[in-house]
Amino acid sequence: MTKFGRHDDKTLIDLMVESSLRALEDAGASEKNVDAVYAASMLAGELNNRVAIGSALVDQLALIPAAADRVENGPASGGSAIKNAYCGIACGMYDTVLVTGGEKMRHVPGETITDYIATMTNIEAEYVHGVTLPSLAGMLTRLYMERYGLTEEDLARVAVKNHLNGSKNPYAHIQQPIALEGIYGSPEAEVNNPMIADPIRMYHCCPVTDGAASVLLCATEKAKEFTDTPIRIAGIGQATDKMAVQDRKDPAVLEALRVSAAQAFKMSKTTPQDMSLAELHDAFTILEIVESEDAGFFKKGAGSKALRDGVTALEGRLPINPSGGLKARGHPVGATGVAQVVELTWQLRGEADKRQVKNAKRGFSCNLGGFANNILAFVLERS
């Protein structure tokens, strides 16, 4: 990974080259080893005036004539790229594939970044009425409060946990721990943590971040050529749901996560209880709670209690987002799905330093496209 944060002096391609070279170096791989490149980005054309970034990346990395494609699936672009790279290897077309996700989104031509992000909502039912992602998250939060007794304190606790984890991650955008009182239930909280989309406040949203992340995938039988600590993609799932939240059977249920997570667990012959940790897609704090339930870790409505009880803390039974998550590590949208897999890899190798989850054997990640209408789920394990 690159450090996630603000990178005024680098282009999107610069960032993607940087994380790519780190991945290649980590594996001791050279240009002779790479058969194909998958580049993931949601808004390369819109924000950075670049299309066909797979071609640019393969050129800059001197990997020609390797195949190169860009995969785009909104904020799940990184997850989709990994899935397609996996298929390229699993079908025998490629032995070794580099996957790099990146986004440079702090410089926005013309409109606001929120508007660009909203172009992934349903155009007739949502976008034209001014629906944005924070507004959808606000409505989901309100529903959860009514139905399951979720409180604003619970939301704040997700942020507190993930900021604490992020403070131990040198790659995180925000490495500053925050106290609960700083963002909830105090006079200073009113100032520090303004309302964005009722009841969502600033600290319930991920920051806007530049960054890139890469993984090198290869056929299982080749892995020992590159590392003594290969990590295996044991399960992959992907499922879609109605694009417009109003069209979903129950807007409080992430059905696409239920389906994709079940696929990933089935393929890996594991259950949620087998996971040592999880990297969830907390673009908004509410999402971490809902995902922790719909991925199968906790019963519906029980996610906030698990959080309050410390189950999902770094030293808990199921640490969630030891990296800091999207909330603190940051969310360069095209990079996120790859960054989650990078974090799982480091954790499973025991290389996560101060944020290391003890005895990490298996990890789960989920990467949300749209407002949870296209979800990738992964199970990784030590091999």
Q: Are 45 and 51 in contact (CB under 8 A)?
A: yes
Residue with tokens 């091999």: 383
The binder of its own copies chosen from 256, 275, 277, 341 (CB under 8 A):
256
Phi, psi of 258 (to 5 degrees): -55, -45
Q: Is 195 in the site for its own copies (CB under 8 A)?
A: no
The binder of its own copies chosen from 73, 135, 165, 169 (CB under 8 A):
73
Residue with Cβ nearer its own copies (66 or 158): 66
Q: Give the C-alpha distances (Å, rounded to integers) separating 172 from 3, 230, 279, 342.
A: 6, 24, 14, 13
Pairing between β-strand 96-103 and β-strand 362-369 as defined by DSSP bridges: unpaired
- How far apart CA 339 and CA 335 sit, in angstroms, is 6
Residue 140 makes CB contacts below 8 A (sequence gap 6+) with 245, 251, 252, 284, 286, 287, 290
Q: Is 36 in the site for its own copies (CB under 8 A)?
A: yes
- How far apart CA 37 and CA 54 sit, in angstroms, is 7
Q: Is 273 in the site for its own copies (CB under 8 A)?
A: no
Give me the helices (H) in 119-213, please. 133-148, 152-166, 180-183, 187-192
Residues 110 to 129 in contact with its own copies, rule: CB under 8 A: 119-120, 122-123
Residue with Cβ nearer its own copies (151 or 240): 240
Find the shortest distance in angstroms from Cβ 53 to its own copies. Answer: 8
Binding segment for its own copies (CB under 8 A), chosen from 187-195, 206-214, 253-261, 304-312, is: 253-261
Strand partners, 168: none
Find the shortest distance in angstroms from Cβ 71 to its own copies. Answer: 6
Find the shortest distance in angstroms from Cβ 111 to its own copies. Answer: 10
Residue with Cβ nearer its own copies (5 or 334): 334
Find the shortest distance in angstroms from Cβ 76 to its own copies. Answer: 8
Q: Please tell me whether residue 249 adopts helix, strand or coil conformation.
A: coil
Per-position b or e across 266-289, b if 16+ CB within 10 A of its CB: ebbebebeebbbbbbbbbbbbbbb
Find the shortest distance in angstroms from Cβ 8 to its own copies. Answer: 17
DSSP output for 175-208: -----HHHHSSSHHHHHHS-EEETTEEGGGBPPP
Q: Is 201 in the site for its own copies (CB under 8 A)?
A: no
Phi, psi of 5 (to 5 degrees): 160, -135
Phi, psi of 305 (to 5 degrees): -65, -45
The binder of its own copies chosen from 58, 218, 326, 339 (CB under 8 A):
58
Number of residues that bind its own copies (CB under 8 A): 58
- How far apart CA 318 and CA 297 sit, in angstroms, is 8
Residue 346 token pair: 């480091």
Find the shortest distance in angstroms from Cβ 201 to its own copies. Answer: 27
The binder of its own copies chosen from 46, 95, 181, 225 (CB under 8 A):
46
Residue with Cβ nearer its own copies (111 or 198): 111
Binding segment for its own copies (CB under 8 A), chosen from 39-47, 216-224, 315-323, 337-345, is: 39-47
Residues 325 to 364 in contact with its own copies, rule: CB under 8 A: none
The binder of its own copies chosen from 43, 189, 264, 278 (CB under 8 A):
43
Interacting residues toward its own copies by CB under 8 A: 11, 13, 36, 42-43, 45-46, 49-52, 54-56, 58-59, 63-74, 80, 83-84, 86-93, 119-120, 122-123, 236, 238-244, 255-256, 259, 369-370, 373-374
